[in-house]
Structure 1
Amino acid sequence: MNWLRSHLTFDRGQRDGIFRLLALVLSLIALNVFVEFEAKTKLDMSAPMVEKLQAEMDSLKRVQKEKNTREIYPFNPNYLTEYKAYTLGLSVSEFDKLKAYREQGKWINSVSEFKKVTGVSDSLLKEISVYFNFPEWVTNRKKSGKNYVNNFDRELDFSEKKDLNTATATQLEEIYGVGKTLSKRIVAYRNKIGGFASEEHLYAVYGLKEEVIERIMNRFAVKTQIDIDKMKINEVSASEIATIPGISFEKAKKIWEFVRVREGLENLSELEKIEGISARELRLIRLYLSTE
């Protein structure tokens, strides 16, 4: 018993420590029993930052909704771009068929022809065909009920041709392949340079394809003469060459360097050797430059 009494005998400091430990344990037990702990919400939805983020999300949703319901404007299906075709709902293969058809120099002039070429479904055709805007000559043909064949590839005699320098945009629209945009662009460019000195000036009009230019030249000719003071290619600077419509300063510099290296040219046809100079640009160069 003496050994047990020795283990249970504590000095004053040890007794104070035991009492403090017991008091702490009892306090924790009482706190756990009588005090209810509520879990705090991890995210306060009414916080200013949360409300700001929610507002931004709502704004993005509205923008996306507006994109999905974007208004469709009338368009010529012959000039349908790949992106436009995608937004309208055409498949890649349907657009490729249309592209291949146009690359052959052929034109779509009716809703049924668009269906035949692309193979789009009747439901999609019904939805988008209301926005088709064909050239005026097609519309006029339908209104008049005449069923004639396009004969713009046949060249008229010079006396029968209309003056290209006095032709109106409406008259130019009669040419197969020239719509309202291109006809206005031709007239605007003609006014800008003070009149065409040659039918070759048409090659400087942006967007005019060569086959369309040929059709215009079959029906129109420059009858009101406009003189051009040609520059001597062996004497002009690169800056002067760059004043030629359709010739960039980069191309002008290349031409100037080509002439300097050869210490002058005897014939403008030598310019064909310059890499990057197209036949279309050479036509314009001949209007403004000479070797004499």
Structure 2
Amino acid sequence: MEREKSIVSSVLVYSKSQRIGIILLFGIVLVLQGIYFFIDFKTTAKTSKEEAVWLSKQKDIDSLKFQNKNFKPTIYPFNPNFITDFKGYKLGMSVEEIDRLLACRKQNKFVNSAAEFQAVTKVSDSLLKTIAPYFKFPDWVQHKKQYASPFSKTELPKKEKIAILDINQATKEDLMKVYGIGDKISDRILEQREKLGSFVSMEQMQDIWGLSPEVVEKLKTSFAVKSTPNLKKININNASVKELSQFPFFRYALAKEIVTYRSMQGDIRMENLSKIKGFPVDKIQIIALYLDF
């Protein structure tokens, strides 16, 4: 018992400084408790002026959204032949249905009624019933009788046959009627014909300087070789170098080769032409018609 009293007395006996420290400690605890209960430590987010303006408009925006919940976009009349992927999606069509319509259009085919539209796209009856009232087809589809051809099948005008002229009888005026042939080119054609006496093939038009392949094809639709009345021939086995070089298909160098071959091999035959150095092999069939052997 005495021991316990001594322990209590030892605990209760503090120095002055210790008692002051304990009092200050209790004072600090009380102050902190008061601060915790009476001061709000929640952080408030700072908003800019611009954000504040937007927040003030939010109520108006929310009210407009509520009013537009039942809003349906206006559908204007359209030609179903030209439905795009986006347009079809908005109308409620599936990807497969849209692809069927686009495949039909790629074949240059058109649908001219709601029934044809459904037959091509395979859309459901309910969807067709919804979108068909907005289909707008061209006037001629709606009023075919008014746009019927004024000619019956038996009264259709016949196409006029193009008269094909003889190129060896053609005049300058005849040639100039072909689109692409002017004054100078027509003169070149007539000059070449004069040198040869007559053309033997329309392929010779390719040798006329200034004639494009397109114009040559047009010439072939209007002209043909029907006769060769003034055909000039040259004897390849007797003509001199000078005479051969004046022939439109031969130049001086080729004329010398012909005479050299002739002096070494004897008379030239048609089958020997390709053996002569520098001879235009691609034109043998035409050149041979101007030669005497």
TM-score by length of 1: 0.40
Larger RCO (alpha carbons 8 Å, 6+ apart): 1
Normalised to the residue count of structure 2, the TM-score between the two structures is: 0.39
- From the CA coordinates, give the structure whose radius of gyration is larger: 2
